[in-house]
Amino acid sequence: MARHFDYFDDWKTEILECPKCGWKGTFEEGDVGYYEQLMDSSCPTCSYPNDPMLAIVSYPTHDEVEANLDKLSVRERSAYRQRKRHEQLWETYCLRRPEQLPDLEGDEITLIWDMEDVGDDSWTVIRHGDRVVWREPAWYECYPRFDAMLYLLKRKYGRRLVDVEPTCGSWGWLCGDRLASIRWVDGWRAKLRETTPEPEPEARSAPRRPWSRMNDFLRSLWHFFQR
């Protein structure tokens, strides 16, 4: 049976042993998989799908991270503070209501979904020609926000809005590692030509806090330090 560790347990130095082939090594020396709520390590020498899962590490909550800041490396603490600051920017600048958007002229409106880096922060920038329509902090794999933004944009511009086109440079952050999200984004764009939607539950248009789950933060942080 796989051993289970909390994130701040001493899982990085614990020696794991495969019950089938006898391989021994640390969690990071095994075959590591990354998921929404956890990461796991399987035997790197046994053949898939018969390779035993040796250990599971659960991602922590915000409170657990705050209580264990001394266990983070200097780089991890710096990244954590940066993410908290980024979340504060998000709360300040995110689009919440259609009324915040400017009026635009034209019978057909095509907007551009772009990304730009300002200092240590990445921003989603929506343009109409040379005009910036909206700018807000971006986060990795922000495709759910794309859906919510299309809803707000559609409420503002109605049937005149015919497309919101991501630039080549924005696709990486927009979809991240989730290949299915490309299909979702294209599907949401295709629906723009439909009539203006009826009011939907508040959760649809309400902005999702980009780091509301600590596992989101640590998953991105883990990938960052493995590059």
Whole-angstrom Cα distance, residue 51 to residue 26?
A: 16
Per residue in 128-170, pLDDT tens? 999 999 999 988 888 889 999 999 999 999 989 999 999 999 9
Lowest-confidence region among 25-29, 80-84, 184-188:
80-84
Q: What is the largest CA-CA distance in the chain?
A: 70
Domain range list for the chain: 1-59, 87-214
Query: Mean pLDDT across the chain, nearest whole number?
Result: 84
Q: Name the more confident of 3 and 173.
A: 3
pLDDT for residue 215 = 47
Query: Crossing angle for the helix pair 214-226 and 74-93, nearest 10 degrees?
Result: 130
User: Which pTM value belongs to this model?
Assistant: 0.67
Which of 215, 123, 139 lies closest to 176, judged by CA? 139
DSSP state at residue 98: G
pLDDT at 216 (0 to 100)? 52
Mean predicted confidence (pLDDT) in 27-46? 91
Report helix, strand and coil shares of the chain as percent, to nearest 5: 40, 25, 35
